[in-house]
Structure formats: structure tokens, C-alpha cells
């Protein structure tokens, strides 16, 4: 009972290594405090049961400052330890390592889609596709190489879903019209459950697939095989030119246009017309395409039309990804 | 006993007038309390039967008893009924309505007609919810998360209307109690001479008054979004679904304290009376109720650690969550210390105190697990959370409420239920409760998400234990209901003060007369000044 294996599936995520230990620590705190409190309660209930001769005359104590201070401070200290421990591990498992490989996760009633921008590959983890992959002997679901940090960037095309991989101790809601991020680094090859954890309707409990952790060689082989198939992420450069973005936004450095140049924008702090600054992350890029009036860059007019309703989720994701790569080292690779 | 004989011929509140109208339009807080008792008991049975169907469905991994959409509607109804129609009103509206004015030595609450209006509003809200159920029901979960709730089909707006209306019942009851406690305390009853139930009802009422309007606004916005498509919460209309979660939990987390704070008060009364000694740490318990109410209003974001809210916000909410745990721990320690050197009666109410302490400690300590950020990421939205809140809400709030009914039943109806059967049944409730909900911790930590119609086979054996436990728990509760009803009608007649309590409700007849007291009672000391010399009515140990 005091082994993590009793409570959890085996942990295979290098970034969530301390999580189970904290649970076992709290379990010990629980068992010890339950034993003390329940034991005391039952002893009193027996020792002071009605009808026993009263040994001590007078009113039983109604206060005891020392005792009350002790049972305030001791729990406070223990809870403080738990807070710091939980927060430390949470921070570690929330921030993706800079060299992490990115996988785009899209939730949709009721299946998951995984895009690999670095390989230009798309996997739709429908039950049928999983069945086909099994027959072909391919790894199924979200396929990732072992010992490689992975950054999941998730969004949804309809309602809120939540990607939950128990063996990795990872869970993150994916929402429509914004990105959320989760990260892990698998330490053992194998197949692990992936659930949807946020209620999403009829087939909520059927929105499950697997995570296949494979060797780096097997991963490369799988990617090469997938490239021959037709499903592809949308090409962001094509969306960019096809949607008329280039009419106002340059993609080369310091080129003046009607709108600001997008070169090197990602990760920069942009000064806004209202005097504040904003970090140009994925959510900023997305919002600036869908709701351009909400954040106007300093020195430019509020004239950009909204692309809400004109781009579907795939095109939008691709466009954000394309803009993100402009002016960065790996921009050319995208 | 003296008083009993003196007024034997005089009618009590139950016999003062007859006919359905005399009940439905009564302004007597006691009759209103009894009507709430009947209504909440009915809804508890309905919610319990729904839970039974859910457990039947989950007996096997495959979906077989009902179809997926029906399952989704059933758990939505189970949650909505139990939260909005049972646990939120049960302790304040039943025990609070009946006991609060008696404890204060008052003739009624401050606004008797408003009190009746609260009950009528409650019934209107309940009817709206039931209408939504009849019109094909809704499948949003009791949490109504957007954009699912704004896009799914079904009479969601009717259900939201029900929640909106129910909120007003809650607000008016809270307002009534606050004014009553401020203005109608018996002569000599200073704030720190109030029984602890009154402190906890005061804290509860404050939360009801401050938090419920936020819920009202939220569901109203949701109805507007569904009907005319204003884009507050739906991101495809420019809204923000996380905003909904903030609004929703800004009410619904404090609502947890609306449910549990009266339970704390009930336990404080019972532990002192049935141990026949002063409560340990009166001020600590009284003030911790208030601090729980205040800090508890600032922790709503701990429901959203995986939602994508900022890491910094999550850290703050986690920190504050641990802060609420401290006053709660102080209460538990104080109740146990109250047993020290007491004269402990193993009466049914005391059995429920023990049951409460055991279950509530498990519920509270697993709350600590969930408050820790790194662990919550894994456990959020799994059965671990389901187990946790059933331990707190049912093992805590409902068990304390049932215990409170056992404690005040002789006062309410002037008759006693079979005590040995009651004590025995409380043990059955304890065992079957753990059998039902403990496996859920395990199946949750092993990864089973909540609201799953089907699940993977490796979770099956734990689910089967839970289902068997649920059947036993249901049977135990039916036995409890049966002997309580039997006791109220045919049980042996009891004296005014069968437990030798010192608070004012025990100074009047059982059942009380229509106007509670024949003379204005006055208070000379604290509510727990045992050993009691002045209560002539009772021989110890009988």
C-alpha cells in the first residue's frame, strides 16, 4: 500500500519523477494522523464511556493554549512542505525543455489528431485508423521516440477536451481558439493509455487511444513510412500567401509595410498602442489573426480585418506555425 | 417534565392547525423546516436512485444497462439534484430552519413570510429542474462547462433557470438567518454564548449571501448565450470558456462551504451534548468557521490547475487551498479533545459523530493530495476526485446532517426512533460507504477519468466492489429512513430534553408549541456549561 505501484501505473516520464514520492509522503501523513486521531477518539470513547466512575472531579479542560498552538503550527508546517514540493514538481513538469520536439494535438469529438511539424506528418487516431495500424503492425496513436523531450501544443476544434496520459502523470485541457502546452519525456518503450479527461459528450469515454513510445530508429522508420501516406498538416506558407497576408505584412527584417513585419516576431515583446507590451507567443499570434483589433502594435493603424470564420482550425494552426518560424533558425526547415 | 405536564393539553406546532393549506402557507419556521425535510428527503431518494443506475452501468466495463447519452444525462441529473436540491439546502433549510430560532430563544426567524417565500421559490426551482428532466433532460454535467453547455442540445436553459431560481431561495434563507442571529438572540446570549451551530449557520449564510449572486449572473449569461448567442463564454463568438470556469467556481467552491459549514456546527453540538461536557476550544471552532468562510472564498482556482490558467495563478490558488486546511484540522482536533474526560453516550448521534470524523478526515486529507499542484495534474477529473468529494460531501455534510436529524428528531416530533437499530445501522452506513467510495480513490489514481460510460477492463474489479457497496449503502439508508419515520409516528414519547442538552431548544416542550416558548428564555452562561446542575429533567446515563 505504501508503494507507488499500488496506486499508480508505472511512471515513465522523466519530467514527473518526484510526483509519486509526494503522494506516498502525503499517504504517510494521512495514515499517521488518522491513526493518532482515530486511536485517540476510540480510546476516549472507551475510557470515558457513560457510567464509568468519574476519577477526576471538576469541569474537564475547555482550553489548552500549548496544545492548540501545537495543533495549529504542526499541520501548517507539514502543509507548507507539501505546497513547496508540489509546486516545485509542477513547475518542472509544466515548462517544456527548449530542445523539445513539438507535436500538435487537436481534440475533436471524439478523436485525437497529432501533427508532427518537424516531419510534416499527420496521425489521426480514430478507432478505425488505430485498427489499421495494428493490422499493419505499426505503432498506434501518439508515436514518440524514447528519451526525447516532447512539447505538446494542444487546441480543440469544438468543445473542451483534456489529454490525459496516466503513465506520464500528464494532463492538459485543450480548448477552442487557444493553445495550451504540456510536456513529457518518456523513459521506457511501450504502449500507454491516453484518455480524454474533460467531459465532451456522447463518446467521451471512447475518445481514447495509445501513446506508443518507440526507439529512435523505429521512430525514424515510422515517420518515413507515414510520409508515403496522404494525410498531411496544412502548409502554412500556402495559407499565408493564399489569404493575402503578404499584402500588408513583410516576412523579411525591417521592411516597412501597412502592418508590422513578421520577421523574428515570435518570442519578442511587442509594444502596443495602449502603451503596454505583450509577449508574442502562439496565443498572441492566434488572437491577432482572429481578433486583430484587440492588440494593436504601436505605430500601426487598426485596420486589419478579422480572419475569424475564414480560416479553419488546420489552416490557422499552420499559419501560426509558419509565422512562428519566420526569422528563426529553424524557420527555413518549416 | 414539569413544563410537559403543565402544557400537555396545549397543541404543539404539528397539531396547532390542520389541512394541507395550513402547511403550505404556514409562516411557522418549524413547519417550513419539516416541509424542507420532506422535499430534500424526496430529492435525496431520487438522486440516490439515479446513482444506483449509474453504478449498475459501471458494474461492467462495457456499456450495457443504458446507452451513452442516457448515462450522461443521468450523471448530470444526479449531480444537479444532489448539489442544488439536497446538500445545499439540507442542513441550513431543514435543521437551520427548525432549530435556529429555538436555539436563539426566539419565536420565529426575523422574516417569517420571507422564509415561506424561500420555500416556495425552492419548490419552483425544483419544478423547473424536473421540467428540464421531463423535456428530454440535459447532459452538461452539473458544472455546465462552456462551450459544451452552450452548444449541446436539450433543455439546458430550463435547468439553468431552475438553478437561477434556487439561488434566490438560498440567498433569502441566508439573509433571514443573518438578521435573526443579529437581532433576535435571547437576553443574555452574547455572541460568544451562542451555540456553535449558530456560528456555523452565520458563516454559511454570509457565504450564501455573497457568492450566490455570482452564480445567478453566471447562469443568466449562459442562458443568454444559448438563446441569443451573446459571446461571453463561447470562443467561437469571441468569448472565453475559462472565464466561465472562474465565474462558476467563484460560486461553486464557496458552495462547498455552504454544504460543510453547517455540518461542522451540527457535529459541535452533538459531540458536546453526547459527551456531556463543555466543547473544547469554543473560540477556536467559532472563529475557524469564519476564517474558512473567508479563505474558502479565495480558492476557486484550484479546480482549474489543468485548464490552461497561468502557472502563477495556480501556485497562488494552491497556496490558499492549503491555508483552508489548517482551520479545518483545528476543528477536528477540538472535537476529539471534547471527548476527553466526558461522559460519552454511545447514542446514535454520537455514532454519527464518529462516522463523520473518520470519513471527513479521509475526505479532507485527500483534499490535501489534490491541493498539491503536481499531484492534481494527474488526479484532476479522475475518480480520485469523485471519491474525494463524496467523502467530503456525503461522508461529511450528509452524514452530519443525518446525525443531526437523529439528534433533533425527538425535539421535532416528540418521539424517539429505535436507538439500538439506529446505532447498528450507522455502522452499516459506515462500512458500505467505504466499500462504495474507497475503491474510487484507487481506480482514479490508476487513471480512470470521471464521467466515463465505458472503461478499460483493468478498472473493472474495483468498480464492481463500488457497485456492491452502493447497493448496501442504499439499503442502509432506506432502513434509516424507515425507522426515522416509524419513530416520528409510533415511537415512544420522549421528555423535553432526552439528551440533557443545555442550549435553549431543549428548554421547551417536544415537539415545541406553535410559538416555541411560553416565556422568553434568558441565558446566564455558555451553551456547554457541563456538568449541568440546573437541568432538573434528566437523570444521567439513561
pLDDT tens-digit map of B38-50: 999 999 999 999 9
Are A83 and B280 a contacting pair at CB < 8 A?
no
Are B343 and A37 a contacting pair at CB < 8 A?
no
Are B147 and A49 a contacting pair at CB < 8 A?
no
Tell me what pLDDT residue B535 has: 43
Low-confidence ranges of chain B (pLDDT < 50): 1-7, 534-542
Nearest to B311 among A51, A94, A166 (CB): A94
Q: How many CB pairs under 8 A join A and B?
A: 253
Q: Where are the alpha helices (DSSP H) in A118-189?
A: 127-136
Helix (H, G, I), strand (E, B) or coil at B1: coil
Selection from A309, A112, A323 nearest residue B235 by Cα:
A309
Range A290-294 average pLDDT: 84
Contact A249, A289 (CB under 8 A): no
Q: Please name every residue paired with A125 in a beta bridge, in sequence order, or none if there are none.
A: A112
Helix (H, G, I), strand (E, B) or coil at B361: helix
Are B374 and A176 a contacting pair at CB < 8 A?
no
Q: How would residue A255 be classed by pLDDT, with cut points 50, 70 and 90?
A: confident
Give me the half-sphere count of Cα atoms (radius 13 Å) on the Cβ side of residue B29: 29
Are A291 and B375 a contacting pair at CB < 8 A?
no
The residue to which cell 467552491 is assigned: B253
The residue to which cell 454520537 is assigned: B350
The residue of B225, B237, B308 whose CB has the most chain A CBs within 10 angstroms, and thus the best one to mutate to test that interface, is B308
In this prediction the ipTM stands at 0.91
Contact B169, B121 (CB under 8 A): yes
Tell me what pLDDT residue A300 has: 86
Nearest to B368 among A26, A44, A176 (CB): A26
Which positions in chain A touch B152 (Cβ < 8 Å)? 201
Which positions in chain B touch A8 (Cβ < 8 Å)? 378, 445-447
Pairing of strands A149-156, A101-108: parallel
Tell me what pLDDT residue A275 has: 86
Selection from B524, B257, B330 nearest residue A63 by Cα:
B330
E strands, chain A, in order = 101-108, 111-116, 121-125, 142-145, 149-156, 161-165, 170-174, 180-185, 190-196, 209-214, 269-271, 277-279
Nearest to B339 among A45, A72, A164 (CB): A45
Are B326 and A76 a contacting pair at CB < 8 A?
yes
Are A50 and B276 a contacting pair at CB < 8 A?
yes
Are B330 and A18 a contacting pair at CB < 8 A?
no
How far is C-alpha A143 from the geometric centre of its chain's CA atoms?
17
The residue of B280, B334, B372, B538 whose CB has the most chain A CBs within 10 angstroms, and thus the best one to mutate to test that interface, is B372
DSSP string of A36-58, one letter each residue: HHHHHHHHHHHHTBTTSPPSS-S
Tell me what pLDDT residue B8 has: 54
pLDDT tens for each residue of A91-124: 988 899 999 999 999 999 999 999 998 888 889 8
Chain A residue closest to B143 (CA)? A199
Selection from B86, B406, B404, B82 nearest residue B263 by Cα:
B404
Range A157-163 average pLDDT: 95
Q: Give first-to-last CA distance, chain A, whole Å.
A: 49
What DSSP designation does B508 have? S
Which positions in chain B touch A61 (Cβ < 8 Å)? 280, 340-341
Which positions in chain A touch B371 (Cβ < 8 Å)? 82-83, 86
Tell me what pLDDT residue A229 has: 76
Selection from A112, A91, A93, A82 nearest residue A170 by Cα:
A93
Which positions in chain A touch B453 (Cβ < 8 Å)? 204-205
Which positions in chain A touch B326 (Cβ < 8 Å)? 72, 75-76, 79
The residue of A8, A16, A44 whose CB has the most chain B CBs within 10 angstroms, and thus the best one to mutate to test that interface, is A44
Chain A residue closest to B451 (CA)? A199
Nearest Cα of chain A lies from the Cα of B41 at a distance, in angstroms, of: 29
Are A175 and B235 a contacting pair at CB < 8 A?
yes
Which positions in chain A touch B451 (Cβ < 8 Å)? 199, 204-205
Contact B126, B166 (CB under 8 A): yes
Nearest Cα of chain B lies from the Cα of A285 at a distance, in angstroms, of: 15
Q: Is the peptide bond before A110 cis (omega within 30 degrees of 0)?
A: yes
Tell me what pLDDT residue B338 has: 94
Q: Please name every residue paired with B496 in a beta bridge, in sequence order, or none if there are none.
A: none
Chain A residue closest to B148 (CA)? A159
Which positions in chain B touch A81 (Cβ < 8 Å)? none
**Radius of gyration (Cα) for chain B, nearest Å?**
23
Give CA–CA dist A282/A180, Å, rounded: 9
Give CA–CA dist A277/B145, Å, rounded: 32
Q: What are phi and psi of A260, to 5 degrees?
A: -65, 150
Tell me what pLDDT residue A329 has: 58
The residue to which cell 461553486 is assigned: B252
pLDDT over 70 (residue A2): yes
Are B368 and A159 a contacting pair at CB < 8 A?
no
Nearest to B145 among A160, A196, A204 (CB): A160
DSSP string of A182-204, one letter each residue: EEEEB-S-EEEEEEE-S--STTG
Give CA–CA dist B41/A105, Å, rounded: 46
Amino acid at each position: 500500500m505504501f508503494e507507488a505501484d499500488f496506486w499508480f501505473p508505472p511512471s515513465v516520464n522523466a519530467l514527473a519523477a518526484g510526483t509519486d514520492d509526494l503522494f506516498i509522503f502525503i499517504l504517510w501523513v494521512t495514515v499517521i494522523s488518522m491513526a493518532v486521531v482515530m486511536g485517540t477518539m476510540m480510546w476516549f470513547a472507551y475510557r470515558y464511556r457513560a457510567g464509568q466512575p468519574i476519577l477526576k472531579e471538576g469541569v474537564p479542560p475547555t482550553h489548552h493554549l500549548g496544545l492548540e498552538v501545537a495543533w495549529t503550527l504542526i499541520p501548517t508546517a507539514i502543509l507548507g512542505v507539501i505546497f513547496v514540493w508540489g509546486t516545485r514538481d509542477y513547475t518542472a513538469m509544466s515548462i517544456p525543455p527548449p530542445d523539445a520536439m513539438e507535436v500538435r494535438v487537436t481534440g475533436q469529438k471524439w478523436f485525437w489528431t497529432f501533427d508532427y511539424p518537424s516531419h510534416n506528418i499527420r496521425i489521426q487516431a480514430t478507432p478505425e485508423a488505430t485498427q489499421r495500424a495494428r493490422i499493419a503492425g505499426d505503432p498506434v496513436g501518439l508515436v514518440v521516440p524514447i528519451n526525447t523531450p516532447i512539447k505538446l501544443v494542444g487546441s480543440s476544434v469544438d468543445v473542451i477536451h483534456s489529454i490525459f496520459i496516466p503513465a506520464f502523470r500528464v494532463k492538459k485541457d485543450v480548448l477552442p481558439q487557444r493553445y495550451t502546452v504540456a510536456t513529457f519525456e518518456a523513459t521506457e518503450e511501450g504502449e500507454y493509455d491516453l484518455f480524454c479527461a474533460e467531459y465532451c459528450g456522447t463518446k467521451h469515454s471512447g475518445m481514447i487511444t495509445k501513446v506508443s513510445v518507440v526507439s529512435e530508429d523505429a521512430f525514424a522508420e515510422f515517420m518515413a513510412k507515414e510520409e508515403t501516406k496522404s494525410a498531411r498538416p496544412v502548409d502554412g506558407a500556402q495559407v499565408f500567401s493564399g489569404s493575402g497576408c503578404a499584402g500588408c505584412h513583410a516576412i523579411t527584417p525591417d521592411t516597412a509595410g501597412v502592418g508590422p513585419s513578421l520577421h523574428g516576431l515570435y518570442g519578442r515583446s511587442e509594444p502596443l498602442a495602449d502603451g503596454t507590451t505583450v509577449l508574442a507567443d502562439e496565443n498572441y499570434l492566434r488572437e491577432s489573426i482572429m481578433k486583430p483589433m484587440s492588440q494593436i502594435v504601436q505605430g500601426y493603424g487598426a485596420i486589419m480585418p478579422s480572419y475569424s470564420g475564414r480560416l479553419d482550425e488546420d489552416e490557422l494552426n499552420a499559419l501560426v506555425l509558419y509565422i512562428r518560424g519566420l526569422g528563426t533558425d529553424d524557420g527555413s526547415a518549416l | 417534565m414539569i413544563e410537559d405536564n403543565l402544557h400537555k393539553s396545549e397543541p404543539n406546532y404539528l397539531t396547532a392547525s390542520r389541512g394541507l393549506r395550513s402547511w403550505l402557507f404556514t409562516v411557522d419556521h418549524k413547519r417550513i423546516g419539516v416541509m424542507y425535510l420532506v422535499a430534500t428527503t424526496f430529492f435525496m431518494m431520487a438522486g440516490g436512485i439515479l446513482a444506483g443506475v449509474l453504478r449498475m452501468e459501471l458494474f461492467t466495463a462495457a456499456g450495457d444497462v443504458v446507452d451513452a447519452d442516457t448515462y450522461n444525462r443521468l450523471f448530470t441529473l444526479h449531480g444537479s439534484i444532489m448539489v442544488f436540491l439536497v446538500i445545499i439546502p439540507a442542513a441550513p433549510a431543514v435543521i437551520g430552519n427548525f432549530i435556529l430560532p429555538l436555539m436563539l430563544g426566539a419565536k420565529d426567524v426575523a422574516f417569517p413570510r420571507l422564509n415561506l417565500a424561500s420555500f416556495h421559490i425552492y419548490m419552483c426551482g425544483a419544478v423547473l429542474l424536473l421540467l428540464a428532466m421531463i423535456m428530454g433532460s440535459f447532459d452538461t454535467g452539473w458544472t455546465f462547462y462552456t462551450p459544451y453547455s452552450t452548444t449541446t442540445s436539450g433543455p439546458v436553459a430550463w435547468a439553468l433557470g431552475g438553478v437561477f431560481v434556487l439561488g434566490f431561495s438560498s440567498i433569502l434563507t441566508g439573509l433571514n438567518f443573518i438578521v435573526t442571529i443579529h437581532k433576535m438572540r435571547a437576553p443574555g446570549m452574547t455572541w460568544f454564548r451562542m451555540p456553535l451551530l449558530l456560528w456555523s449557520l452565520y458563516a454559511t449564510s454570509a457565504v450564501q449571501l455573497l457568492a450566490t449572486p455570482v452564480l445567478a449572473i453566471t447562469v443568466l449569461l449562459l442562458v443568454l448565450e444559448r438563446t441569443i448567442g451573446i459571446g461571453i463564454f463561447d470562443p467561437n463568438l469571441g468569448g472565453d470558456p475559462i472565464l466561465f470556469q472562474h465565474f462558476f467556481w467563484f460560486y461553486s467552491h464557496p458552495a462547498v462551504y455552504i454544504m460543510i459549514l453547517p455540518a461542522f456546527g451540527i457535529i459541535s453540538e452533538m459531540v458536546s451534548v453526547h459527551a456531556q461536557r463543555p466543547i473544547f476550544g469554543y473560540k477556536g471552532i467559532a472563529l475557524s468557521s469564519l476564517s474558512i468562510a473567508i479563505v474558502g472564498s479565495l480558492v476557486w482556482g484550484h479546480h482549474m490547475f489543468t485548464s490552461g490558467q497561468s502557472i502563477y495563478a495556480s501556485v497562488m490558488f494552491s497556496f490558499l487551498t492549503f491555508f483552508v486546511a489548517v482551520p479545518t484540522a483545528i476543528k477536528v482536533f477540538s472535537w476529539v479533545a471534547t471527548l476527553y474526560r466526558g461522559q460519552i453516550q454511545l447514542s446514535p448521534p454520537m455514532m454519527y459523530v464518529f462516522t463523520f470524523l473518520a470519513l471527513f478526515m479521509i475526505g479532507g486529507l485527500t483534499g490535501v493530495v489534490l491541493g498539491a499542484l503536481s499531484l492534481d495534474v494527474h488526479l484532476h477529473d479522475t475518480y480520485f476526485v469523485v471519491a474525494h468529494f463524496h467523502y467530503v460531501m456525503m461522508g461529511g455534510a450528509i452524514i452530519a446532517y443525518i446525525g443531526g436529524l437523529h439528534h433533533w428528531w425527538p425535539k421535532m416530533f416528540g418521539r424517539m426512533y429505535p436507538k439500538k437499530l439506529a446505532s447498528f445501522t450507522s455502522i452499516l452506513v459506515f462500512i458500505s460507504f467505504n466499500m462504495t467510495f474507497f475503491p474510487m480513490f484507487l481506480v482514479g489514481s490508476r487513471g480512470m477519468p470521471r464521467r466515463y460510460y465505458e472503461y478499460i477492463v483493468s478498472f473493472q474489479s474495483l468498480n464492481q466492489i463500488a457497485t456492491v457497496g452502493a447497493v448496501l449503502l442504499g439499503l442502509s439508508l432506506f432502513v434509516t429512513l424507515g425507522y426515522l419515520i416509524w419513530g416520528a409516528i409510533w415511537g415512544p414519547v420522549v421528555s423535553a430534553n432526552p439528551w440533557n442538552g443545555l442550549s435553549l431548544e431543549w428548554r421547551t416542550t417536544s415537539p415545541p408549541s406553535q410559538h416555541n416558548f411560553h416565556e422568553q428564555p434568558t441565558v446566564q452562561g455558555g451553551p456547554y456549561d457541563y456538568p449541568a446542575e440546573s437541568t432538573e429533567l434528566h437523570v444521567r446515563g439513561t
